[in-house]
């Protein structure tokens, strides 16, 4: 019997719907609160996330040619100073990923969205439970997605989720909640939430 392939496009839309619902609860002060993304406020992270959807191919190539850091800053500069209502409207009109973020069955939007959703929630002290099907897809894709740069961080390590059926790699084990593993792969300073003989190595790579 052939296994059913996950509907990653539907998952990406669901993730964006959850983000929109959460953003609608924020106060004006929280829109300007810091996030796990250095230098970026909540509004900046939202601007970054949705700044690629409407880019035409030539504009996308031109932006990416500037390098990932500069390319991301362009989107933040263009959209980051919009009002919370305007940014929320932007999210709501882009629930279905398009353009670059629709790539790889919308895995780009799903993985980027899941990570940045947590970048916003964690400093605000607003945890959530990520649905396992979305988290599993994001973990798989994050391992090799070039912009996330996880490949070098997890090389020679085994990552083992303790709250869902997911494991990858070969070497000293790093284990913990799937969300913590995802954020660690993305370079966020969450290694203290993980355990195992490979944790120190992963923590050193994240700090570097």
96 and 196 in a common domain: no
2 lies in a domain?
no
Tokens in use for 173?
């084990």
What range defines the domain where residue 150 resides? 132-207
Q: Picking from 18-27, 70-79, 186-195, which range would have the lowest pLDDT averaged per residue?
A: 70-79
The segment with the largest mean pLDDT, out of 4-8, 18-22, 145-149, is 18-22
- Listed residues 124, 158, 186: the one ending a domain: 124
113 and 137 in a common domain: no
Mean pLDDT of all residues in 43-52 = 93
Q: What is the mean pLDDT of the chain?
A: 92
Q: Is the pLDDT of residue 79 over 90?
A: no
45 lies in a domain?
yes
Mean pLDDT of all residues in 4-33 = 96
85 and 51 in a common domain: yes
Q: Is the pLDDT of residue 70 over 90?
A: no
155 and 120 in a common domain: no
Mean pLDDT of all residues in 20-27 = 98
18 and 115 in a common domain: yes
172 and 80 in a common domain: no
pTM of the model: 0.92
73 and 149 in a common domain: no
Mean pLDDT of all residues in 27-54 = 94
Counting the structural domains of the chain, the total is 2
Q: Is the pLDDT of residue 131 over 70?
A: yes
pLDDT of residue 8: 98
- Listed residues 74, 101, 124: the one ending a domain: 124
3 lies in a domain?
no
């Amino acid at each position: 019997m052939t296994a059913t392939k996950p509907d990653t496009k539907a998952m990406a839309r669901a993730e964006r719907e959850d983000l929109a619902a959460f953003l609608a609860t924020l106060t004006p002060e929280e829109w300007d609160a810091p996030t796990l993304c250095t230098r970026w406020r909540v509004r900046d992270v939202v601007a970054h996330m949705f700044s690629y959807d409407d880019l035409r191919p030539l504009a996308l190539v031109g932006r990416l040619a500037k390098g990932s850091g500069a390319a991301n800053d362009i989107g933040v500069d263009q959209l980051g100073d919009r009002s919370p209502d305007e940014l929320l409207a932007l999210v709501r009109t882009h629930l279905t990923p398009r353009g670059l973020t629709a790539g790889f069955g919308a895995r780009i939007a799903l993985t980027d969205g899941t990570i940045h959703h947590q970048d916003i929630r964690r400093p605000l002290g607003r945890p959530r439970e990520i649905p396992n099907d979305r988290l599993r897809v994001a973990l798989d894709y994050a391992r090799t997605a070039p912009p996330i740069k996880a490949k070098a961080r997890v090389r020679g390590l085994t990552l083992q989720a303790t709250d869902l059926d997911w494991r990858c790699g070969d070497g000293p084990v790093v284990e913990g909640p799937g969300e913590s593993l995802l954020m660690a792969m993305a370079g966020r300073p969450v290694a203290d939430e993980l355990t195992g003989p490979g944790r120190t190595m992963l923590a050193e790579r994240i700090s570097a």
